[in-house]
């Protein structure tokens, strides 16, 4: 059975002091976290070290929001997977739609980043999802399938097993609009099919698929109870310790 995973993407919010405050609040609340849910928080790069130290002794894991695919070199302003590993980072979000939209992330760079993250033992959270225009034109599945096929290109089965996929319809991110639980579950099931086509059925049944897009306390239960959805990637609501904890405890 797949375990539920709830990941918080803090985006470009919280300086080090605010990151530590939020972490302390979460640590306190984590005593009551549902033990069947894996929890990850993804602070900005500058807070990773302090937050990782503060999380010692808890079951909350830490992820980065992005990385470069090279391990070192003349890439001003970039962060390498080795630097993340040194800090004890376990997960890394790859291909978030905000990076695709504002920072020229392409399916090709996503694929390179996935390979590099896996090479260095980081577990990628691969984000895929369609725009509103693509959904309204009826090409949402084709769009997501293309993203999946290109992302997984030349990745071995043994590495693919370590990945998490987050279905995040772009029109639902930070907009307050959520996909219906039916739309979210349909796409998660479709992603499993695409993965079964690329690899095999066993992997498609094992792989963790999250939904992301305005997940909040009031919709978490319905979305996370869907058969093909194994958790959530949470943006805005992960910045509030109590709301994020209540999402984690959605089934309590």
Number of H helices, E strands in the chain: 12, 8
Q: Which helix (H) or strand (E) holds 113?
A: helix 107-119
Among 39, 40, 125, 173, binds ligand PEP (CB under 6 A): 173
Our finding on whether 233 is near ligand PEP (CB under 6 A) is yes
Contact between 235 and ligand PEP (CB under 6 A)? yes
- List the one residue from 101, 108, 174, 218 that touches ligand PEP (CB under 6 A): 174
- The residue range among 113-121, 184-192, 227-235, 244-252 that interacts with ligand PEP, by the rule CB under 6 A, is 227-235
Instruction: Assign 232 to helix, strand or coil.
Output: strand
Kindly report the three-state secondary structure assignment for every residue of 117-161: HHHCCCEEEEEECCCHHHHHCCCHHHHHHHHHHHHCCCCCHHHHC
Residues 65-94 that bind ligand PEP (CB under 6 A): none
Long-range contacts of 96-100 (CB under 8 A, 24+ apart): 96/9, 96/65, 96/66, 96/127, 96/168, 97/127, 97/129, 97/168, 97/170, 97/173, 98/11, 98/173, 99/66
Number of residues this chain uses to bind ligand PEP (CB under 6 A): 14
CB of 175 to ligand PEP, least distance (A): 7
Asked whether 63 and 91 are in contact (CB, 8 A), the reply is: yes
Question: x/- string (CB under 6 A) for ligand PEP, residues 1-20?
Answer: --------x-x---------
Only one of the segments 54-62, 68-76, 128-136, 231-239 lies at the binding site for ligand PEP (rule: CB under 6 A); that segment is 231-239
Q: Is residue 214 close enough to count as binding ligand PEP by CB under 6 A? A: yes
Among residues 68, 96, 98, 246, which one is catalytic? 96
Which of 130, 140, 168, 246 is flagged as catalytic?
A: 168
Which of 231, 235 has the CB closer to ligand PEP?
235
Q: Are 131 and 97 in contact (CB under 8 A)?
A: no
Q: CA nearest 97: which of 27, 170, 32?
A: 170
162: part of which helix (H) or strand (E)?
none
Q: Which of 168, 228, 230, 246 binds ligand PEP (CB under 6 A)?
A: 168
Question: Could you say whether residue 213 binds ligand PEP (CB under 6 A)?
Answer: yes
Work out which of 64, 130, 236, 247 binds ligand PEP, going by CB under 6 A. Answer: 236
Q: Is 168 among the residues known to form the active site?
A: yes
Q: Which one of the spans 39-47, 109-117, 189-197, 209-217 is the region binding ligand PEP (CB under 6 A)? A: 209-217
The Cα–Cα gap between 237 and 114 comes to: 26
Catalytic positions, written as ranges = 96, 168
Residues near ligand PEP, by CB under 6 A: 9, 11, 168, 173-174, 212-215, 233-237
């Amino acid at each position: 059975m797949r375990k539920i995973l709830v990941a918080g993407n803090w985006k470009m919010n919280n300086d080090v002091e605010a990151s530590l405050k939020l972490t302390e609040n979460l640590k306190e609340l984590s005593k009551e976290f549902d033990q069947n849910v894996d929890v990850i928080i993804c602070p900005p790069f500058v807070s990773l070290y302090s937050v990782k130290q503060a999380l010692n002794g808890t079951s909350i894991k830490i992820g980065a929001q992005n990385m470069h695919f090279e391990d070192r070199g003349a890439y001003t302003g970039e962060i390498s997977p080795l630097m993340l590993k040194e800090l004890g980072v376990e997960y890394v979000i790859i291909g978030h739609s905000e990076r695709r939209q504002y920072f020229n992330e392409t399916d090709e760079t996503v694929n390179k980043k996935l390979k590099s993250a896996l090479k260095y033992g980081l577990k990628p959270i691969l984000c895929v999802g369609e725009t509103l225009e693509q959904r309204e034109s009826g090409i949402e599945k084709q769009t997501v399938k293309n993203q999946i096929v290109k992302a997984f290109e030349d990745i071995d089965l043994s590495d693919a097993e370590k990945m998490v996929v987050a279905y995040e319809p772009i029109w639902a991110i930070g907009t307050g609009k959520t996909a219906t639980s039916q739309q979210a579950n349909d796409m998660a099931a479709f992603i499993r099919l695409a993965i079964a086509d690329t690899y095999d059925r066993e992997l498609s049944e094992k792989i963790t698929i999250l939904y992301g897009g305005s997940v909040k306390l009031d919709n978490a239960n319905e979305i996370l109870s869907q058969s093909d959805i194994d958790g959530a990637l949470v943006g805005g609501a992960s910045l509030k310790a109590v709301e994020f904890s209540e999402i984690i405890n959605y089934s309590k």
